[in-house]
Amino acid sequence: MKELIKELTEAYGPSGREETVRKVIEDKIKPMVDKMEVDSLGNLIARKKGPGKRVMLAAHMDELGLMVTYIDKNGFLRFSNVGGISPHILLGERVVFANGAVGTIGCEKIESMKDLNFQKLYIDIGASEQKEAEDQVKIGDIAVYQRGFQDLGRRIISKSLDDRVGCAVLIQALKEIESPVNDLFFVFTVQEEVGVRGARTSAYRIKPDYGLAVDVTRTGDTPESETMAVALGKGPTVKVKDTLIITHPKVKKIMVDAAERTGIPYQLEVLERGGTDSGAIHLSREGVPSGVMSIPCRYIHTPSEMVDYDDVINGVKLLKSILETPLD
Ligand code: ZN
Ligand code: CO
């Protein structure tokens, strides 16, 4: 699966511009699904038919980005964030646009790091005047982190593990499930990072009986981190609550039972800030019992996110075990 994660994380795909990632996923899953379609917002919906309840699975394809807002006469680009990026991690960072244009991020003179904000930062693409910059990049174009996948053995570092690792878990589960007992809709969503938008419209279309998002979550296992009872390497999580959802007790029970039945390590997760696609799914139509399985991840939203490979493998196992449960 590492090859798959590498290919997915290295693909370009900020919110609203997910087509490259989507193409990678389409090519991989096409032979394994009964039906596949792209809806009007760009969500990829793949169905694997089964006799039971309609279950919607969601992992988001989009990653964070920097959108060009202004190009000055010397060819420097000003930008605004697409999704939750902190300006502090951007100093010296290298970014790449859809057309392959590369830039580095510089900063105006500041007295203190406390003064650092997006207004002080710019992207330098090596142009010496406005026209030369505009030949490569237009207002509204989006750059993403330019970072390669790094295999550390047990652990992996990459950009956009949030949530391409979730996409990889869905793809792998799709491969391994031959005759599902439930009617499965694997949805690779758009625009999660700017407000769970793709999940909202795809849930409306699918009308699921149950919803389950697969995404990353933070951990509390690094030096002086905020307390959180999630650590790398201790298994995927069963989310109990985040900012957008309180997991439906029935779904939580299904998940915990599935983990215990198959002896898969898992952790209970309460995420105090942040949310994911289930936030939209469970509020669709008249309400959909929903939950989230998370892969623990350090340094979320930085160019170097880290996950434990065992958690990914166990994530696939847990997802399969959940989906093998006959639901009523
Ligand atoms: Zn995410
Ligand atoms: Co995110």
| Predicted local confidence at residue 231, as pLDDT | 98
pLDDT band per the 50, 70, 90 thresholds, residue 328: confident
DSSP letters for 13-75:
-BTT--HHHHHHHHHHHGGG-SEEEE-TT--EEEEE--SS-EEEEEEE--B-EEEEEEE-TTS
Q: Which of 192, 193, 269, 305 is catalytic?
A: 192
* Ligand closest to CA 273: 2
Contacts 24+ apart (CB under 8 A), 26-30: 28/4, 28/171, 29/171, 29/174, 29/186
pLDDT band per the 50, 70, 90 thresholds, residue 74: very high
DSSP letters for 168-201:
HHHHHHHHH-SS-SSEEEEEEES--TTTSHHHHH
pLDDT at 154 over 90: yes
Q: What is the pLDDT of residues 273-290, one digit of tens each?
A: 999 999 999 999 999 999
Q: Where are the domains of the chain?
A: 2-63+159-323, 65-145
- Identify residues whose C-beta is under 5 A from ligand 2, the ion: 162
Is 65-145 in the same CATH topology as 2-63+159-323?
A: no
| Mean pLDDT value across residues 150-178 | 97
Euclidean distance between CA atoms 20 and 319, whole angstroms: 26
C-alpha closest to that of 214 among 59, 44, 54: 59
Q: 301 C-alpha vs ligand 2 centroid, how far in Å?
A: 6
Which single residue is written with the structure tokens 């960072």? 93
CATH number for the domain formed by residue range(s) 2-63+159-323: 3.40.630.10
Instruction: State the DSSP H helix or E strand holding residue 97, giving kind and residue range, or none if neither.
Output: strand 94-97
Q: 318 C-alpha vs ligand 1 centroid, how far in Å?
A: 19
* Ligand closest to CA 82: 2
Question: Is 192 noted as a catalytic residue in this protein?
Answer: yes
Q: 275 C-alpha vs ligand 1 centroid, how far in Å?
A: 8
Q: 15 C-alpha vs ligand 2 centroid, how far in Å?
A: 11
| Mean pLDDT value across residues 20-40 | 97
Give the DSSP letter of residue 246: B
pTM for this model (two decimals): 0.96
163 preceded by cis ω (within 30°)? yes
Q: What is the pLDDT of residues 286-303, one digit of tens each?
A: 999 999 999 999 999 999
Walk across the sheet containing 155-158 and list its strands: 150-151, 155-158, 305-308
Six token digits for residue 84: 């939750």
C-alpha closest to that of 302 among 7, 38, 84, 55: 84
* Ligand closest to CA 167: 1
* Ligand closest to CA 193: 2
Write b or e for each residue in 237-257: b if 16 or more Cβ atoms lie within 10 A of its Cβ, otherwise e: bbbbbbebbebbeebbebbee
Helix (H, G, I), strand (E, B) or coil at 100: coil
Helix (H, G, I), strand (E, B) or coil at 307: strand
* CATH of the structural domain 65-145, one choice from 2.40.30.40, 3.30.465.10, 3.55.30.10, 2.40.30.10: 2.40.30.40
Q: 196 C-alpha vs ligand 2 centroid, how far in Å?
A: 10
Q: 37 C-alpha vs ligand 2 centroid, how far in Å?
A: 24
